[in-house]
Amino acid sequence: MSIEKVGVAGCGLMGSGIAEVAARAGKDVRVREIDEAQVEAGRGRIEKSLGRAVKREKITAEERDEVLGRISFTTEVEALADRDLVIEAVVEDLAVKNELFQALDELCGDQTIFASNTSSLTITDMAAAVNRPDRVVGLHFFNPVPVMKLVEVVRTIATSEETFERAFDFAGELGKEPVAAKDNSGFVVNLLLVPYMLDAIRHLERGVASIPDMDKAMVLGCGYPMGPFTLCDFVGNDTTLKIAEIMFDEYREERYAPPPLLKRLVAMGRYGRKSGKGFYDYSGDEPVPLDVG
Ligand code: 3HC
């Protein structure tokens, strides 16, 4: 039974990307945001991204309109009741995610699978809060969602084989490459990537090299598409801090501990690209490294 009706809860950076790729794959997509202002911001993100795809001649203007026609927007959680799959991409807060899934648990039919795009919380903590733990799975996408090929498909000890297979096949239908992961905080990618990003910040604190030189070193020395500080600013320093806090709480290992500099940047609102400043200043044509020492 393939998944055709998709619900996406939360239309920020990740939710808008997920809604876009699902609609581009021909799915009937319904996006839920908390208020009209967030709906409009989410719609704008999707339109901008599709506009970029038209400009780059990946899709035609007609295809863009068809894709947009497959996405409906709502502020009502009830409007997700008929979905085959609901993917949550709301804030990285277990209480918020569980409140949403508990409401959906009452509303949705037995066939509905619940998926979380969490970066670092465990799927088990969400599955345990609803009456359908066998139909709860992780579908972890990467930023920018339309570009990055990977989806981590995460099963808990309670996820049924059928749920896992349907979620795995769904990721493939979106044109992604799914990999299976066990339910541990950080799955595969963040388990390896987060300590790397945090280490870069720790080495910056120690004065090993400058921000642009450390970025240049990893791009030219390892062929990474972005250096660690450009990546931190791209992911969002607030997001990385939140992920690090959750992973440190889970493992109690130093490698996941958020470095003081990351906390100071977030306290000052230096989230990275989205706020205009992070390790770099994005107000001009080219990013300019900032003195954060
Ligand atoms: N939306 C849609 N398409 C985008 C895009 C966006 N936001 N940004 C770039 N693209 C597309 C471009 O259209 C272009 O497509 P084309 O070559 O087919 O025409 C292609 O991506 C390359 O873009 P650019 O030439 O403009 O720029 P780059 O070559 O620098 O690529 C990048 C941009 C794809 C973002 C690349 O730098 C990259 O792969 N960076 C690393 C990203 C990464 O590591 N993501 C994972 C973050 S961790 C995460 O998400 C997990 C979470 O839990 C924290």
CA–CA separation, 33 and 12 (whole Å): 9
Catalytic residue (one of 49, 98, 152, 185): 152
Assigned token pair, 28: 């009937």
**Residues of the domain holding 42:** 5-182
Q: Are residues 60 and 135 in the same domain?
A: yes
Mean pLDDT of 130-146: 98
Based on the fold, state whether residues 176 and 203 are members of the same structural domain.
Answer: no
Question: Is there a domain that residue 286 lies in?
Answer: no
Q: Which tens digit of pLDDT belongs to each residue from 105-119?
A: 999 999 999 999 999
CA-proximal residue: ligand 1, atom 4 (nearest): 147
Q: What is the pLDDT of residue 187?
A: 98
Q: Is 195 a member of any domain?
A: yes
Is 275 labeled as catalytic in the residue annotation?
no
Which of these is catalytic: 16, 49, 119, 120? Answer: 119
Structure confidence at residue 113 (pLDDT):
98
Which CATH number covers residue 107?
3.40.50.720
Q: Are residues 226 and 107 in the same domain?
A: no
Q: Is residue 266 part of a domain?
A: yes
- By percentage, how much of the chain surpasses pLDDT 70? 100
Q: Are residues 260 and 163 in the same domain?
A: no
CA distance 89 to 15: 5
Q: Which domain CATH number covers 222? A: 1.10.1040.10
Mean pLDDT of 219-236: 98
- For ligand 1, the distance from its centroid to the CA atom of residue 118, given in whole angstroms, is 20
| pLDDT at site 133 | 98
Which among 50, 147, 224 is the best mutation to test ligand 1's pocket, defined by most ligand atoms within 8 Å of the CB? 147
Mean pLDDT of the region 41-60: 97
The three-class DSSP label of residue 32 is: strand
Is 96's pLDDT higher than 80? yes
Non-local (6+) Cβ contacts of 192 within 8 A are none
Residue 66 is among the residues annotated as catalytic for this protein? no
DSSP, collapsed to helix, strand or coil, labels residue 18 as helix
Average pLDDT, stretch 202-214?
Answer: 97
In a domain, 290, yes or no: no
Last residue of a domain, which of 182, 201, 222? Answer: 182
**Quick one: pLDDT at residue 293?**
74
Q: Confidence class of residue 1 from pLDDT cuts 50, 70 and 90? A: confident
pLDDT score at 117: 98
Q: Is the pLDDT of residue 208 over 80?
A: yes
Mean pLDDT of the chain: 97
The arithmetic mean of pLDDT across residues 52-58, rounded, is: 96
Q: Whose CA is nearest to atom 19 of ligand 1?
A: 56
The answer on pLDDT for 226 being more than 80 is yes
Whether this prediction's pTM lies above 0.85 is answered by: yes
Pocket of ligand 1 (CB under 6 A): 49, 52, 56, 119, 142-144, 146-148, 190, 225-226, 231, 235, 239
Q: How far is the CA of 147 from the centre of ligand 1 (A)?
A: 6
Classify 205 in phi/psi space as left (phi over 0), alpha (psi -120 to 50) or beta. alpha
Is residue 65 located within the same domain as residue 113?
Answer: yes
Return the ligand 1 atom nearest residue 119 CA.
53
In degrees and rounded to multiples of 5, residue 162 shows phi and psi of -65, -45
Residue 47 has a pLDDT of 98
Instruction: Provide the domain count of the chain.
Output: 2
Which of 182, 206, 223 is the C-terminal boundary of a domain?
A: 182
Give yes or no: residues 30 and 122 share one domain.
Answer: yes
Residue whose pair of structure tokens reads 């910040």 in the numeric block = 201
Share of the chain above pLDDT 90, in %: 98
Determine the average pLDDT of the residues in 171-199: 98
Longest Cα pair distance anywhere in the chain, in angstroms? 56
